[in-house]
Structure 1
Amino acid sequence: MRKRNSCSMLAMAGLTFASLAGGDSLPHDPVGKVGEWRFYGGTLGAQKYAPLDQINASNVHRLKVVWRQSASPPEVLGSEDKPLVGSNYEHTPLMVDGLLYMRSDAGPLMALHPETGKVVWTDKKSSAGGGKSRGVAYWTDGRDARVFALDGADLVAVNAKTGERYQGFGNGGRVDLNVYADSRPNSPVENYSWTSFPVVVRDVVVIAGVPRVAEKKVPEGIQPALDPPGDIRGYDVRTGKLLWTFHVVPRAGEFGYDTWANKSADVNGLTGAWTWLTGDDELGYVYIPTEAPSNDFYGARRPGDNLYGNSVLCLDVRTGKRVWHFQTIHHDLWDFDLPAPPVLMDITVDGKRIKALAQLSKQAYVYVLDRVTGKPVWPIEERPVPKGDVPGEYYSPTQPIPTKPGPIELQQLTENDLIDFTPELRAQALEIFRKYDSVPLFTPARVGREMIMLPGTTGAANWNGAGFDPETGMLYVPVIRNAVRTMLEAKTKGPYPFDRKNEPLLTTNVEIPYADVNPNRPVAAGGPTRLPITKPPYGSIVAIDMNKGEILWRVANGDGPRNHPLLKHLNLPPLGTQNRASPLVTKSLLFIGEGKNGPNGPSRIPAWGGGKMFRALDKATGKTLWETQLPGGTSGAPITYMSGGKQYIVVALGWTDMPAEYVALALP
């Protein structure tokens, strides 16, 4: 197998500085207090860990809901408005210095009392309905304390105690993110958006996001780009001044430009980050998990490896300069964006202490890299992959394959992986399976011929990320099993000669023809929802020993469809819920819900996905120690903190028949 250098570093002078910048301490919050939840992921390195154990295995069964608060309380709604009903509120709050910070489902930034959930202040200048955002960021220098959030296309800064905007930050407390200092002439930006949130490393607010081309503003005679690049930007934390911009699609003369053949970097875009970012405050580095270039399944207009698409990108936060990068997919043709933030961790491998990061992927690999140098901790080998037959397409002959850890989910569907709950279901699964070509990972889509892709475009891992225990070195990864069928089809209109057809591969009720049924609603009025043809678990939690790179255990997360009318008489064990659930790791326990229900856009989650149970697991075995049913499914990531001498667990909930809300659990 041939080797290809997927990693590139700056000059040795910069590398030496990085190596000396920090010792062997764990990634940490430089100013935080024990008992706070200062970052979206608990730590700046997205570990989702808190060293709290007031709630432990001996008393977790006594947990009760102690307060509930609407995600759109009356304080942020007009007198005639009602809370939004739906399950798509994916927000996670912060708890710092006695306040919970959040963006409401209606838009405005607000603060709650951590022991009661009562509203303390709201940002009265926020625009109602200013776009979805999964979180906010906090910064302090010990004297000043600020909360940063996205309000539509604006980056806003407010006083953490009062909610008042800083008039000296940008223009009256806001920076217009539709304004790019050096946008390309063929891709002026409009409708900037980002479902994630800012990250603050040292004194720099770092922003990613998903812009759109303002075609009406393209100069006459210039062909508009397919999409603008999702460039990464750094702003001064006090003034809002733009400090730097990193071009995720390199410009002429920049490193990586030659990985876009035929000057295709000039007309292509995306490759930014739609998920959230992480940082190492000691090193002064920010880590960006990038997405695929445009278009997801067709890349003839972008021949080459396409840096920095599908890459872990390490930038010096002071300058925005690239320190290193590692590309996980060359020339993506599968919509395998990097969906989750790199989890920063210190691990011990063969007796050596390593500042590492673990990058989850849709394709079921975990890429483990030295976060100082970008070098793989265990070998990542360039291995040959199948070549497609689309006219004019470019195909990378190899892809980087980690040797450790092993895949966290199935990477090809075979007949052995089909359901066999009953002979009738087995026969139907075989009939459906044999209509298509079930192909290995990294097989490109074909024109006019459908194939089964597993993992599908929802991935094995996704934006909900993982949890890491720094004391044991265990990484806990929620994954789903969701095959899709996909093909390319010729188009007579539109910007691409081919486009994708991508639908979930699901069985139907035995009596209903497969092709006649919408995958995201019941087969008939009052009838059963459809079943996957794959064997369970459909949603799992996978535990990986990161010191050894070995998977230790896997357990199903949730009941899944075992109560389906065709299965409920079989007395099956939990089958796992096919949805995006986020973990919370404490000193004593692993907490996790089952995710929300309802429509999930292009994610192709089935109607039975999600559940209202919330559980505490034994971290060593995955055994359920306690569970309770909440009013809705966990739509956001849970957090934990101490306030008034009591440990709380708070999580956002959503369901299709209720307004989103927060619930807080604590011991009596």
Structure 2
Amino acid sequence: MAITLTALIFFIFAAVLGVGGIWLIILGGSWYYLIAGILFLATSIQLFRKRSSALIIYAVLVIGTLAWAIWEIGFDWWQLAPRGGVIMLFALWLLTPWIRRELNEEEGRSPSDFLPALPLGIAAIVGLGVAGYAMTGDPLEIVGELSKEVIVATPDLGGNVPDNEWHQYGRTPYGQRYSPLKQITTENVGNLQLAWQYQTGDVKLPQDVGETTYQVTPLKVHDTLYLCTPHNWAIAIDAATGKEKWKFDPNVGLNPDRQHQTCRGVSYYADPNVTAGQPCAERVYLPTSDARLIALDAANGQICPSFGDKGTVHLEKGMPYNPAGYYYSTSPPVIAAGKIIVGGAVNDNYSVHEQSGVIRAFDINTGALIWNWDSGNPDITAPLPEGQTYTHNSPNSWSVSSVDEKLGLLFVPLGNQTPDQLGAGRSENVEKFSSSIVALDLNSGQLRWVRQTVHHDLWDMDIPAQPVLVDINTATGSVPALVGPTKQGDIYVLNRRTGEPIIPVNEVPAPTGAIEGDSTSPTQPVSDLTFMPQRLTGKDMWGVSMFDQLACRVEFLRLRYDGRYTPPSLQGSLIYPGNFGVFNWGSVAVDPARQVMFGMPTYLAFTSRLVPRAEVPPPGAGTKGSEQGLNRNEGAPYAVYMGPFVSPLGLPCQAPPWGYVAGADLRTGKIAYKRRNGTVRDSSPLPLPFKVGVPGIGGPMITAGGVAFLGAAVDDYLRAYDLTSGKQLWETRLPAGGQSTPMTYALADGKQYVVIVAGGHGSVGTKPGDYVMAYALPK
């Protein structure tokens, strides 16, 4: 009975591998799967006949598979496993006494005779030995160390933020995500314990949009933490105990037209002209998802009526269309030189009738408009006259800007014009400013320089990350630098005075062949400091078994793929890295003393298939537009289907690792290490803590104690790493997804805390929650 059932299973395997293998060969892929199917079929036939030759045939399959797998990918355990896992399991099954007994009795041998099974036994031992050896190393990791040398003893951290506080999203206007605190070190970080926990009460509702997510980094000023929630509640809590001081609900309501329901942070300001303790002497500014900017008294959460219209600036003013649900600010504004400067997010790929991407500077006290920079009309920065509107659908800035008040420059990361995947008819200004970093005069808004990171962007490779400002020692002296991470994996290290590269940037040939009526740039820029992935091939396809791996190989060859910057197409194109990015809004953390960076490069391929307007289904549930699925692009000649490149089981089709932690030297541009980061504990049917290296979204923070902290990965952990080597030093389980950037502060007694907000992320499917978690060393 066991043999008959096994023979039937092998026959099914043979059919699947045979059909799939022939399809793969027709597409130009590997012959292995057809050959394996033939050997499964031969084994099946001999098992039906109860002939021990089945074991010899299967031994050939085991050894052949092993040789082929090592030839293709070497000794990478995570790629060997899907190729040989099923085959090895059935090899062990065929060696069991009840299978051998039936074969031996049918052929008149002793039931315990192992000789006919000896070739398969040897093959199984060899296979298990190779598997064991592959588990001992990782050929894909880069193991090395950053220098511990302090290059600048007293580096410029930006702004006048006390060492024990965290005043802006990246701690200071420079966005370094670096704290000079060093009570927590690489030696004692393993002793961190939960100090307090707070729950905001703002939880994801059934009627919320899919991407309702916590991405907030709290601020710490004096003895108080300030944060915001997905529904734009502003909250103040005691930094020592986590007890709530006040809460403000702007009542933004629910709007299904919003693509995102999130808040990355609030902005803090102390008015030097108001006596401390007076109303609104210190203020918190809250951006909302219904396009408002609200000033609150930091002491009690009451509205400050002198700002704007009774405490509110209405950001829909000057927009060419009704912005409800289609325009809002998800990131904290920049406060500098008596101004509050704000950009805004637009809904990707809903329509060609999108709002303007204008950047506006308002008087920090009155809310009066001082200047506006609209990339569609970049030379006119005087406040827009009453009754006029900004340029519709101009590249926007949804992320966080940085500022250098000494240079009088604001550094803005810009996105693209919708539709992201269609470039026909773009204006000269769109072609110049999309997917770029621009430097604007802080006082006038006038353009000082622009550095584009993608030409004629057809892939949604907008600049997602706050530029990091740091002074770098070079052969010619100290240079004020800007570090700009990008979705495509390049790290631009620029002179922030001029925008010229400190680490070289080269133009390299790029794929051509856009759809009729569109075009591609013949070259694209690449920084010498880059985390861009290697080009995918068929051998990089993955699965939990050889069967879904075969499906991924077939799909890979069905898609158009010419490497990085493959144009979108009607047949469907593979976009790698995808618009999830190698780096996203979490940016990187920079140690200005050692002049090194720590980041979390992520690698996920996406697909992009254009759909002619006549073939687009009518609007309905799930077809209005999003970052995955059908993006309608109303008013454009094509819609686009987008999404991650996944197997029939919903797993990434390209082999892991999908996520690393990495360190690089910003003076030399050399990557010191890349280590797999995160486990599949929370993304697999069984809670298995296999350190595959998983995707993440969020950012890191580093301290003068030589420790880097990072949540972000799709398993629910906060982790600490040695900044020098990237080795993990500590981890703690979070009650929800930690897709936010941690921060750190100290109290008057010197006690240092590390805080992360754990509330989950709608797009990556981590566990939702509403937790603020603080950790400290034991007394």
Q: Fold match, TM over 0.5?
A: yes
Match of 1:490 among 607, 612, 626: 612
> Residue 698 of structure 2: which of 578, 581, 590 is its match?
581
Would you say 1:375 and 2:484 are equivalent positions?
no
Letter matched to residue 353 of structure 2: L
* Secondary structure at 1:162 match in 2: coil
* Residue 665 of structure 1: how far off its partner (Å): 0.7
Q: Say if 1:560 and 1:591 are closer, same or farther in 2 by CA, change over 3 A.
A: farther
Letter in 2 for 1:617: Y
Asked if residue 35 in structure 1 is aligned to residue 170 in structure 2, the reply is no
How do 1:309-324 and structure 2 match up within 5 A? 309-324=434-449
- Conserved? CA contact 1:545–1:551, under 8 Å: yes
Q: What TM-score comes out, normalization by structure 1 length?
A: 0.80
* Distance (whole Å) between structure 1 residues aligned to residue 199 and residue 712 of structure 2: 18
- Identify the residue that residue 245 of structure 1 maps to in structure 2: 372
Q: Residue 295 of structure 1 aligns to which amino acid in structure 2?
A: P
Structure 1 counterpart of 2:401, which letter?
L
Distance 1:415 1:136 in 2: 46
Residue 289 in structure 1 maps to residue 413 in structure 2? yes
Contact residue 584 and residue 697 of structure 2 kept, 8 A: yes
Alignment of 1:432 with 2:536, yes or no, is no
Report the counterpart of residue 646 of structure 2 in structure 1. 506
Deviations 1:210-253 (A, max 9, x none): 3589x9xxxxxxxx9632321000011111110001012226x7
State TM-score, norm by structure 2: 0.69
Q: Tell me the equivalent position of 1:234.
A: 361
Total equivalences in the alignment: 580
Query: SS at 2:558's partner residue?
Result: coil
* Cα distance between partner residues in 1 of 2:565 and 2:202: 47
- 1: CA distance, partners of 2:236 / 2:681: 38
Does residue 326 of the first structure (1) align with residue 451 of the second (2)? yes
Corresponding position: 1:198 with 2:343 = no
* CA root-mean-square deviation: 3.3
What amino acid sits opposite 1:273 in the alignment? S
Q: Aligned-pair distance for 1:31?
A: 2.8
- Work out whether 1:170 is the aligned partner of 2:308: yes
CA distance 1:115–1:445, shift in 2 (3 Å): same
How far is 1:116 from its partner?
Answer: 0.9
1:71 aligned residue (200, 215, 219) = 200
SS at match of 2:194: strand
Shift of 1:589: 3.7
Post-superposition offset of 1:105: 4.2
Question: Which one of the candidate residues 264, 268, 273 is aligned to 1:134?
Answer: 264
1:610-621 alignment runs, 5 A limit: 610-621=714-725
8 Å Cα contact 2:737/2:768 also seen in 1: no
Question: What residue identity is the alignment partner of 1:50?
Answer: S
Aligned twin of 2:653: 533
Q: Can you list the C-alpha shifts for 1:258-284, whole angstroms capped at 9, x where unaligned? A: xxxxxxx99761401111111112222
Shift of 1:351: 4.8
SS in 2 for 1:58: coil
Residues 79-119 of structure 1: per-residue CA shift (max 9 Å, x gap): x9999999711111100111111123443322110011111
One-letter amino acid of the counterpart of residue 440, structure 1 = G
Structure 2 segments unaligned to the other structure (5+ residues)? 1-151, 256-260, 276-280, 382-388, 617-633, 761-765
Pair 125,390 (structure 1): closer, same or farther in 2 beyond 3 Å: closer
Residue identity opposite 1:139 in structure 2:
Y
1:386 aligns to 2:526 (yes or no): no
Pick the aligned partner of 1:463 from 563, 566, 585.
585
Provide the secondary structure at the position in 1 that maps to 2:553. Answer: helix
Contact preservation (8 Å) 2:673, 2:726: yes
Distance 2:540 2:206 in 1: 49
* SS in structure 2 of the partner of residue 432 of structure 1: helix
> 8 Å contact 1:487–1:500 — kept in the other structure?
yes
Greater CA drift, 532-541 or 559-568: 559-568
Q: Which structure carries more helix by proportion?
A: 2
Pick closer, same or farther for the CA change 1:434–1:266 going to 2, 3 Å.
Answer: same
SS at match of 1:163: coil
Residue 566 (structure 1) shift: 11
What letter matches 1:507 in structure 2?
A: S
Retained in 2: the 8 A contact 1:145–1:159? yes
Question: Is 549-558 or 323-332 further displaced after alignment?
Answer: 323-332
- 2: distance between equivalents of 1:24 and 1:133? 35
Provide the residue aligned with 1:625 in structure 2: 729
Give 1:44's aligned residue. Answer: 173
1:280 and 2:404 are equivalent in the alignment: yes
Q: Distance in 2 between matches of 1:282 and 1:555?
A: 37
After superposition, the C-alpha distances for 1:610-652 in whole angstroms (9 at most, x for unaligned) are: 1112211111111111122121221221110001421111111
Counterpart AA for 2:330: T
Structure 1 residue 418, shift from structure 2 partner: 3.1
CA distance in 2, matches of 1:85, 1:536: 26
Aligned in 2, Cα 1:450/1:86: closer, same or farther, shift over 3 Å? closer
Which residue in 1 is equivalent to 2:771? 661
Tell me which residue corresponds to 2:80: none
Instruction: Give secondary structure in 2 for the equivalent of 1:438.
Output: coil
- Other-structure match for 1:526: none
Contact map agreement 1:589 1:618 (CA 8 A) in 2: yes
**How many Å separate the matches in 1 of 2:347 and 2:699?**
29
Go from structure 1 to structure 2 and tell me whether the alpha carbon gap of 1:266 and 1:320 turns closer, same or farther (over 3 Å shift).
Answer: closer
Q: Answer whether contact 2:680 2:687 (CA < 8 A) is retained.
A: no
Q: Matched residues, percent identical?
A: 29
1:412 maps to a residue whose letter is R
The structure in which a higher percent of residues are strand is 1
Give the deviation of 1:290 after TM superposition: 0.3
Distance 1:400 1:196 in 2: 28
Change (3 A) 1:155 1:62: same
Q: Deviations 1:176-226 (Å, cap 9, x if unpaired)?
A: 11112xx56xx565543121121112211000003589x9xxxxxxxx963
Q: Distance in 2 between matches of 1:280 and 1:86?
A: 33
Structure 1 residue ranges without an equivalent (≥5) = 1-22, 216-223, 256-264, 510-529, 597-609
Which amino acid counterpart does residue 663 of structure 1 have in structure 2?
M
2:490 paired with 1:352: no
Change in CA separation of 1:619 and 1:127 when aligned onto 2, cut-off 3 Å: same
The structure-2 alpha-carbon separation of the partners of 1:135 and 1:420, relative to structure 1 and needing over 3 Å to count, comes to closer
**Looking at both structures, which has the greater relative contact order when contacts are Cα pairs under 8 Å and sequence separation is at least 6?**
1
Contact 1:201 1:284 in 2 (8 A): no
Out of 324-333 and 421-430, give the one that drifted further: 421-430
Q: 1:81 to 1:107 in 2, by over 3 A?
A: farther
Counterpart among 130, 145, 153 of residue 291 in structure 2: 153
Does structure 2 conserve the Cα–Cα contact (< 8 Å) formed by 1:612 and 1:632?
A: yes
2:400 paired with 1:299: no
Q: State the distance in 1 between where 2:390 and 2:211 align.
A: 40
Letter paired with 1:331: H
Aligned-partner Cα distance in 1 for 2:347–2:580: 23
| CA–CA distance in structure 1, aligned partners of residues 210 and 427 of structure 2 | 44
User: Does the residue aligned with 2:554 lie in a helix, a strand or coil?
Assistant: helix
Amino acid of the structure 2 residue aligned with 1:652: V
Residue aligning to 2:739:
635
For residues 659 and 83 of structure 1, what CA distance do their matches in structure 2 show? 14
Residue type at the aligned position of 1:625: L
- The structure 1 residue matched to 2:572, chosen from 447, 450, 470, is 450
Preserved contact between residue 72 and residue 84 of structure 1 (Cα < 8 Å):
no
Contact 1:341 1:465 in 2 (8 A): yes
Of residues 412-421 and 146-155 in structure 1, the stretch that sits farther from structure 2 once superposed is 412-421
How far, CA to CA, are the matches of 1:634 and 1:566 in structure 2? Answer: 20
Shift of the alpha carbon at 1:27?
Answer: 4.3
Deviates more, 1:585-594 or 1:95-104: 585-594
Instruction: Report which of the two structures shows the higher radius of gyration computed on alpha carbons.
Output: 2
1:100 aligns with 2:229: no
Structure 2: which amino acid aligns with 1:145?
E
